[in-house]
């Protein structure tokens, strides 16, 4: 995974943490994440939280831009996660500090709400994944 993706990942986490003081999302605000699919188009996931910390995710497809890459994203409180990459192959490791009971892993290709079990503190993520902390996740 390129440094650009990692910098983007941490920038998203840090921005969300600092901008909303101790809250990592703004209710009602759409957060848009893009990931290049193996087929060559770009999958777009739009994430919206409600005031209770429940997330709704919708998927769309767009024509790829030159800047699109196969990417993974983490949307969670910065004090609960740390991330690193292995190489330039769109993979990385995310460590969740504490319980993962409210963490969900969503694929860009086939979005489904898959909660993590509480034994998944160290996750190997590949491009095309969105890891979020939410009370619940609904896919539209």
Burial letters 103-135, b for 16+ CB under 10 A, else e: bbbbbbeebeeeebeeeeeebebebbbbbbbbe
Residues whose CB is less than 8 angstroms from the CB of residue 66 and which lie 6 or more positions away in sequence, other chains included: none
115 pLDDT higher than 60: yes
- For residue 89, the model assigns a pLDDT of 62
Edge-to-edge strand list for the sheet holding 81-85: 81-85, 91-96, 122-126
Higher pLDDT, 48 or 5: 48
pLDDT digits (tens, 9 = 90+) for 11-31: 454 444 444 344 789 999 999
- For residue 124, the model assigns a pLDDT of 80
């Amino acid at each position: 995974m390129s440094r650009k993706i990692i910098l983007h990942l941490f920038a998203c986490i840090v921005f969300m943490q600092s901008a909303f003081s101790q809250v990592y999302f703004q209710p009602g605000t759409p957060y848009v994440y893009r990931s290049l699919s193996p087929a060559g188009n770009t999958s777009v996931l739009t994430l919206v939280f409600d005031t209770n910390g429940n997330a709704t995710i919708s998927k769309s497809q767009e024509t790829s831009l030159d800047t699109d890459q196969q990417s993974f994203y983490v949307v969670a409180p910065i004090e609960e996660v740390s991330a690193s990459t292995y190489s330039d192959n769109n993979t990385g490791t995310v460590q969740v500090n504490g319980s993962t009971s409210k963490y969900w892993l969503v694929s860009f290709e086939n979005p489904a709400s898959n909660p993590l079990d509480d034994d998944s503190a160290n996750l190997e993520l590949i491009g095309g994944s969105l890891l979020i902390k939410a009370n619940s996740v609904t896919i539209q």
